[in-house]
Chains A and B, each alone.
Chain A
Amino acid sequence: MTDHAAAAPARAASLDSDRIAVVGLAIAVMLPLVVFVVAPLFEILKMSFVTPEGIGLGNYIRYVNSPKFSRVVGNSLAVAATTTTITVLLAYAFAYAMRRTAMPFKSALGSIALMPLFAPSLVQALGIVFLFGRNGLINRTFGLSIDIYGFWGIVIADVFYSLPHAYLILSAALAVADARLYESAQVLGATSARIFRDITLPSTKYGILSATFVVFTIVITDFGNPMVIGGDYNVLATEIYNQVSGQGNFQMGAVIGVMLLVPAALAVVAEKWIMRRHHATISERSQPLLIVRQRWRDRIGLTFALAICAMIAAIVLVVVVASFVTLWPYNMHVSLRHYRFEVQNGLQPLWTSIAVSLMAAAIGVVVTIAGACVTRRLRNAAGQALYFLSILPAAVPGMVLGLGYILVFNNPANPLEFLYGTLLILALCNVYHYHAQGFLIATTSVNQISRVFDEASTSLGAGFLRTLWSVVLPIIAPSIVSVGVFYFVRSMVTLSAVIFLVTPATQVAAVSVLLLDDAGNVNQAAAFSVCIMLVVALALLLFRVVLRASGRRHVSLMR
């Protein structure tokens, strides 16, 4: 063993090769974040201060003084507040039924509740219009004149749109419980109402707060549903679109964008702050709570869960049915004529969407996994900066990001201007729009790998890149796939960020749905939505099959 002793003290020069790899990768991750997140935000801010009289607050003053301002801001806040309250209540009850009752059919009900995640955001509004709209099933059948367009239409559509997000958070919060607390309370003679108030509610309060802020952000930034069902009821997200696409007023679009950015960013910051204060209440010694059968509680839970799932399924189902009938709801004969797509570019937008989504998945996997690995390695200020930049997009509404992209990339002075109008910019926009979520999936799984593996690898002579390639990536392989699927699905259904970036040649499917609906071709809009959902469903099925074939299960797709 002594033959190697003489050679041991090595040169400091070799240290640099490893450091160069880390720093190089950090820069490779950081630079695009600056170009595709920071620069668009900066341009929006700059644009909002540009007035004919020079740089100043003119745009803001003009906007705040217009009667329209208080109305649109008020509308947005009213919709967001109302929807958030209803969604969190329903989602809590649903999650409680799933986690704390012994009702049957849990896995089917849980899957149905997640359906809205895998449909374009305006499908909820579309379905509700088919049911309750001017020419909807209910009004036509019963000769009523329910007016769903406006505040309540948006609220109902957004409740179902945001419900799965809240459900996932609350379900996770309710999934963990220390049986010892519940047993102690029972032994001390507490009633079930009292146990709920004193144990269950306090132990899930962080989940409730987190769900509240997440839902608020989703609703206030939602664009698709208010577009379809809002009627004359304008909210901030649709107002940006009207200003930019309708009137070509970029300054005003930017001002409203900043107005939208502020509450969304505040909600995200609040959520992160709360989650940081949330210390684990479950220790290694905790006993898992066993759910025993309780007839009435289980029956009530099942009834409630069935009702929620029936509504979620009905909205999607009615869209599917409407796509297969001659003319909803007047002529209900089965017909495939809406699937001929004799308008615009035919089915081309669907292929475009698939291409963009595949690109986004490929790029998204690389940048988020690289980001997660670098931030794990950089335990210093640079690492924190990188982390901040990586989750910053969570606070940026899609409409704002999309507008920022126009300002940055539709500019001949920008060397990256060639990207404008390509599929690549749509893919990149999706990658960075959903960067925070993809990055958090990657970070969570990377951080589950014990640091002992890094240290063992290092002591055996491996550098940063080799450890990454031989040890870290193989261990997190299932998560890599799930980040890819996450990006594919999000890119298939997203509307808000890309709406500003599509050209006639690069139109994507979700935008087609909106334009078809806008033009009154609701049945074709439904058919296009069904195609999108079909592609998403196939992708998810493929993902399941691949995971099962490789012997892995229970890989989460969301958050």
Chain B
Amino acid sequence: MFLTLRNISKRFGAVPALNDVTLAIGEGEFVCFLGPSGCGKTTLLRVIAGLESPDAGEVLQSGASLLGVPARLRNFGIVFQSYSLFPNMSVARNIGYGLECRKWPKEAIAPRIDEVLALVHLRDQAAKYPHQLSGGQQQRVALARALAPKPTVLLLDEPLSALDAKVRDELRAEIKDLQTALRVTTVMVTHDQHEAMEMADRIVVMNAGVIEQVGDAIDLYDRPVSRFVAEFIGRMNLVRQSVARIPPAERQADADPYVGIRPEHIELIDANGAQSDALLGRIEKCVFLGSFTRITLKVDDRKLMLELRGRRTDLVVGATLAVRIPAAAIHRLQDATR
């Protein structure tokens, strides 16, 4: 593999940040580290960058260990969450800085600055200073600065989270297009599942310093291995397998574990049909959310969440509803005890 993380552990004082993390990243791949704050995703990115040294384990690039190679010699480009442009330098000088540090020949620097500025559509802003630019423009310049020295790996540390929603969406697409065009190996840290699903070739879901699951968006949504992944990406009902009306023959041996069902997979049925697998409940809440309607249904003493397409004016709070859970919709999850 192009970039390999092997058994990486890191603690800050008594707090473990990463616990024996192993991962392989292919050349040209776009990988997202996704997880809640404090899950270790940023620490892992910083270990790759060389800004943190792991307590155990190592990072390998094309099979060679990067142990002891300081950040400035790795030639990895980084874009930080907060604006990291040097305030005392113009846009052009910011971008040229890495080229000067990496001893590019003088005559090659100016054309390269122009080239990367064109990539981020900011050729007309070269002489401006960071404080004269909008937040989105500043992050574009930061991206151009990171790309200018032709890095072997591009590292993005929540690059969009400080921006307004609209700018964020624009830049999200732009970064993805740029990455696809340049084929530069990219690792991005985010806590936003939609960002990860839209941009990444592969998503690495992290929790409490370990990798929960690795896969593309469809894998993670359709086949979550753990309750954490199931609940972090999309929504998931958790019910006992007996409640889910799983035939006894197919049930798992141990007592009565929980299984997961996506809200949109629960089917409405005719209450009078008297099907054997029908669940009867009372509508407790009914929320219209544009393209779908979310219903909270009380079945015995448990709550089930349903998502139905379109507007459902026929369903009112207090009414009784019959639903069924198709067998194909059932997810068996690790750690699903409640």
Contacts and interface: CB of A to CB of B under 8 A. Distances in A.
A15 B78 contact: no
B74 to A, nearest CB: 6
Given A15-B68, A460-B149, A8 B75 contact: yes
A4 B142 CA distance: 21
A9 B3 CA distance: 12
Max count, chain B CB within 10 A of own CB: residue among A9, A459, A474: A459
Nearest to B76: A459
B97 A457 contact: yes
Given A456-B80, A460-B145, A5 B101 contact: no
Contacts of B27: 2, 5
Interface in A1-44: 1-10, 12, 14-15, 18
A462 B69 contact: no
A1 B153 CA distance: 9
Interface string A498-517: 00000000000000000000
A1 B152 contact: yes
Contact of B51 (A9, A453, A459): A459
A543 B315 CA distance: 75
Contacts of A455: 49, 51, 71, 78, 80, 84
Contacts of B151: 1, 4
Given A8-B75, A474-B88, A15 B70 contact: yes
Given A458-B51, A460-B97, A462-B101, A475 B73 contact: no
B82 A459 contact: no
A1 B88 CA distance: 29
B182 A1 contact: yes
A461 B98 contact: yes
Given A9-B69, A12-B69, A18-B70, A456 B78 contact: yes
A453 B72 contact: no
Majority SS at the chain B contact face: loop
Contacts of B85: 456
Max count, chain A CB within 10 A of own CB: residue among B66, B88, B183: B88
A552 interface: no
A150 interface: no
Interface residues of B, number: 44
Contacts of B49: 455, 459
A459 B97 contact: no
A466 interface: yes
B72 A18 contact: yes
Contact of B150 (A4, A458, A466): A4
B77 interface: yes
Contacts of A14: 70, 73
A12 B80 CA distance: 26
A462 B151 CA distance: 14
B64 interface: yes
A366 interface: no
B64 A9 contact: yes
Contacts of B77: 459-460
Max count, chain A CB within 10 A of own CB: residue among B66, B68, B76: B68
A471 B88 contact: yes
Max count, chain B CB within 10 A of own CB: residue among A3, A9, A463: A9
B72 A462 contact: yes
A549 interface: no
B292 interface: no
Nearest to B153: A8
10 contacts: A5-B61, A6-B62, A452-B84, A456-B78, A459-B51, A459-B72, A460-B98, A461-B149, A470-B86, A474-B88
Closest 7 CB pairs of A and B: A460-B98, A461-B101, A9-B64, A10-B73, A474-B88, A456-B84, A459-B78
Interface of B: 2, 27, 49-51, 61-62, 64-66, 68-78, 80, 82, 84-89, 97-98, 101-102, 142, 145-146, 149-152, 155, 182-184
Given A2-B152, A452-B84, A459-B155, 11 more contacts: A2-B27, A5-B2, A8-B75, A9-B62, A455-B80, A459-B72, A460-B77, A460-B101, A461-B75, A463-B72, A470-B86
